[in-house]
Amino acid sequence: MSESNQKVSLIIPTRDKAELLSRCINSIQEKSTYPDYEILVVDNGTREPKALRLLEGLEWAVNTRVLRHPGPFNFSAMINMAASEAHGSILCLLNNDTEVISPDWMETIAGHLMQEGVGVVGALLLFPDGSIQHAGDVAGGRACVSHLRELPDGGLGEEMSSDGACDVPAVTGACLMTRRDLFLEMGGLDEGAFPVAFNDTDYCLRVRKAGWRVVCAPLARLFHHELATRGPTWKPLDLLRLHREKREFRKRWLDK
């Protein structure tokens, strides 16, 4: 099945930060060449006046819907809710602090996803200075999950194709494309164990365990203004939550 006849549902969680969301969506609409997509903005209690005006405008935009998810921030729950309402056969998790670089990013990722046996595909994410922020993820170490910061031809990929795409253990949910039927079959992201962190890696590892491939496509490139949305998690409750998620992730994956 060709990727050209597959609708892509872009799921963008957000709260306040109008400048980030506006830049992200403008870059999608102005630069993307993929013909069939919808944008699902999942709002988690925005209060800033400028951001509220932006969301109000987006409710009238073509191929765009604003979904409301009030309450404590739970990235997994926000994504799962949007996935259940998506019209596309392909889901693309996208952070609101990303910005499109390569116009053909959607068709490039979707093209890999439609290959036999591929369940998840991620993009090459760059810092604003052009250096690599993400070329795939690996599990292990004190941080539990780390970004690969070299291109696959640097030898970090497990299996590389002629266009530079390679199999990797996981990719970040900042830009993660997957088949909607597979996502629903796998139960989506784990809202209970991983409300904020490690949900993307956990999903990728579960997909791989089920026999599917996870791929990074370096020709699909976006900027990622990392941590611009929520900022560093130094609050005591954030640190406690992160500790719980790390403990669960280690128990589920690293201890094995």
What is the predicted pLDDT for the residue at 1? 39
Q: What confidence tens digit (pLDDT) does each residue in 130-178 have?
A: 999 999 999 999 999 999 988 655 444 444 455 678 999 999 999 999 9
What is the predicted pLDDT for the residue at 150? 80
- CATH no. for residue 8? 3.90.550.10
Enumerate the H helices of the chain as residue ranges: 18-31, 49-58, 75-85, 105-113, 180-185, 199-209, 236-249
What is the predicted pLDDT for the residue at 57? 96
* pLDDT band per the 50, 70, 90 thresholds, residue 3: very low
What is the predicted pLDDT for the residue at 157? 43
Of all residues in the chain, the percent with pLDDT exceeding 90 is 83
Taking alpha carbons only, the member of 129, 167, 127 closest to residue 149 is 127
On average, the pLDDT of the chain sits at 91
* pLDDT band per the 50, 70, 90 thresholds, residue 235: confident
Q: What confidence tens digit (pLDDT) does each residue in 41-62 have?
A: 999 999 999 999 999 999 999 9
Computed from CA positions of residues 141, 143, 148, 149, in that sequence, does the dihedral angle turn out positive or negative?
A: negative
What is the predicted pLDDT for the residue at 73? 93
Q: What confidence tens digit (pLDDT) does each residue in 67-114 have?
A: 999 999 999 999 999 999 999 999 999 999 999 999 999 999 999 999
Q: What confidence tens digit (pLDDT) does each residue in 187-215 have?
A: 999 999 999 999 999 999 999 999 999 99
Is residue 178 within 8 Å of 120, Cβ to Cβ?
yes
In sequence order, the 6+-apart residues with CB closer than 8 A to the CB of 247 are none
Q: How many independent structural domains does the chain possess? A: 1
What is the predicted pLDDT for the residue at 237? 80
**Residue 156 lies in domain:** 3-254
| C-beta contacts of 60-64 below 8 A and 24+ residues apart | 63/37, 63/38, 63/39, 64/25, 64/38, 64/39, 64/40
What is the predicted pLDDT for the residue at 228? 47
Is residue 77 within 8 Å of 187, Cβ to Cβ?
no
What is the predicted pLDDT for the residue at 101? 97
In sequence order, the 6+-apart residues with CB closer than 8 A to the CB of 255 are none
Is residue 44 within 8 Å of 14, Cβ to Cβ?
yes
Residues of the chain by 3-state class (helix, strand, coil), percent to 5: 35, 25, 40
What is the predicted pLDDT for the residue at 158? 45
Residue whose tokens read 């976006």: 222
What is the predicted pLDDT for the residue at 2? 46
Q: How many other β-carbons are positioned within 10 Å of the β-carbon of residue 141?
A: 9
Could you give phi then psi for residue 195, rounded to 5 degrees? -65, -30
The pTM assigned to this predicted structure is 0.92
Computed from CA positions of residues 221, 141, 207, 200, in that sequence, does the dihedral angle turn out positive or negative?
A: negative
